[in-house]
Amino acid sequence: MPKSATSAIADRALPPNPTLAPLAAQARPRQAAMSSSEFLENVRRFDKLGTATQKVTRDGLPYFINAFWTSRQRQAHSLHEISYRACFKPQLPEFFIDRLTVPGGGVLDPFMGRGTTPVQAALMGRHPIGNDINPLALLLTRPRLSPPPLSAVMRRLDDVTWDQAEEIRQDLLAFYHPSTLRRLCALREWLLREAPLANAAPDPATDWLRMVAINRLTGHSPGFFSVYTLPPNQAASIANQIKINRKRHQVPPLRDISAIVLKKTRQLLDDGPPGAHPRASLGVGSSTNLAHVPTASVSLVVTSPPFLDIVQYAQDNWLRFWFAGIDATTVEIATHRTEAAWEAMIRSTLSELARVLRPNGHVAFEVGEIRHGKVLLEQATWRAAEGLPFARLGVMVNQQEFTKTARCWGVDNNTKGTNTNRIVILRRL
């Protein structure tokens, strides 16, 4: 990414709040992290959700297939309830953090997106480390690692100059009632003054207010600032929103921005803040150059990279970019149209992960399922790790509807198969 205001957002450290006690609902932490052999044995014997793990070999890769965690989002901590395109469930990083780290250990996601891995690491008393080339990821992650109290958010809402919008984007009337749009533009301008992007340590309540507002810009219920539109993780274009309005015979209703922000804040804080944890380190930049992460400082990487060209992150986030004051032309989110190009990017990323991981540290590299199992990105990841200082341990396949092993590859009587998490497990030599 070229040097710009957005590249200056890199958050060097977030101070922990020593007054925060760990959540009572958290399980007692392990005294030692599992070794590779212990972890694989744990995976083989796993049956807590009522099914037994199946081990199969396909194209030379060992697969461990089971339902390893529930898919129910509501069973996760309330702080995770921030929408972002193509994000995994918090139960995924929790599974690996619990087994492969101890409190205080560094947990990294070089493609952090909405920040699921760093937030879960903080909730479990680990050292949250994150990175993303998209500066929006920092704005969605940083506030939840040390959230302000509701009273502080209420005070900041009272400070907003709601009647001082200098510029109102009339084209956004496709989404917003005129009065709502005026207040939204005023809020945007106030946030850009109070918490400019170059400020690596903004006021926590202001930072939080911006995060919640970004998350409430558009959606399909009265809990958002907009009229009915696409889900909040995928903004419609203005032209498409006009079509939606005509088809549904709808007109953007008046929304109370402050009330919506406070309601979402209460929901996010419902389970309480994270307990005490080491200072977080969040960066904005390429996954191949994690300059803010010291060598051999990470115990575990849990991540999920962009999957070829099937998710258009910049296009989906155009409205969020506008509101946050991010110049989309400076955000170099790569889209890889071929498996070979994607594999080359993964190899470069793994080379950097080899630098930051401690010996015997682990990588849980989630590649998902695309094109109904016709493209198996775990195979590309397996090849990308060849020759690097990693032991390739296997591929975990998390199936929520556990039926036949063959369905993992979309070959069950011409059905599309199940949606699966596919996680390549590596150990740093």
In this prediction, residue 377 has a pLDDT band, given cuts at 50, 70 and 90, of very high
> How many folded domains does the chain comprise?
2
Which CATH number do you get for residue 109?
3.40.50.150
Pair 284, 242 in one domain = no
Pair 80, 202 in one domain = no
Pair 74, 100 in one domain = yes
The pLDDT of residue 370: 63
Q: Over range 86-99, report the average pLDDT.
A: 93
The answer as to whether 329 is a domain residue is no
Q: Domain containing 220: what range?
A: 150-268
In this prediction, residue 299 has a pLDDT band, given cuts at 50, 70 and 90, of very high
Pair 179, 253 in one domain = yes
In the predicted structure, residue 23 carries a pLDDT above the cut 60: no
Pair 182, 91 in one domain = no
Determine the residue type at 87. C
Pair 197, 78 in one domain = no
The answer as to whether 358 is a domain residue is yes
Pair 223, 125 in one domain = no
DSSP state of 375: B
The answer as to whether 97 is a domain residue is yes
**Phi, psi dihedral angles at 146 (to 5 degrees):** -150, 70
**Mutual angle of helices 257-268 and 204-215, in 10-degree steps:** 100
What is the distance of C-alpha 182 from the center of its chain?
A: 30
**How far are the Cα atoms of 148, 162, 236, 348, 404 from residue 188, in angstroms, in the given order?**
20, 10, 20, 37, 51
In this prediction, residue 368 has a pLDDT band, given cuts at 50, 70 and 90, of confident
Pair 289, 402 in one domain = yes
The pLDDT of residue 15: 37
The answer as to whether 124 is a domain residue is yes
Q: Over range 254-270, report the average pLDDT.
A: 98
The answer as to whether 273 is a domain residue is no
User: CA dihedral in degrees (91, 97, 102, 108; nearest 10)?
Assistant: -130
In the predicted structure, residue 74 carries a pLDDT above the cut 90: no
Strand 357-366 and strand 298-303: the pairing is parallel
**How far apart, in whole angstroms, are the C-alpha atoms of residue 106 and residue 100?**
11
Q: Indicate the pTM of the whole model.
A: 0.89
DSSP E strand boundaries for 297-356 = 298-303
Q: With b meaning 16 or more CB within 10 Å and e meaning fewer, what string describes 269-288?
A: bebbbbbebbebbbbbbbbe
The pLDDT of residue 296: 98
In this prediction, residue 328 has a pLDDT band, given cuts at 50, 70 and 90, of confident
Encode pLDDT of 115-166 as tens digits: 999 999 999 999 999 999 999 999 999 999 999 999 999 999 999 999 999 9
Pair 419, 305 in one domain = yes
The answer as to whether 325 is a domain residue is no
The answer as to whether 234 is a domain residue is yes
Encode pLDDT of 183-206 as tens digits: 999 999 999 999 999 999 999 999
The pLDDT of residue 35: 97
The pLDDT of residue 230: 87
The answer as to whether 229 is a domain residue is yes
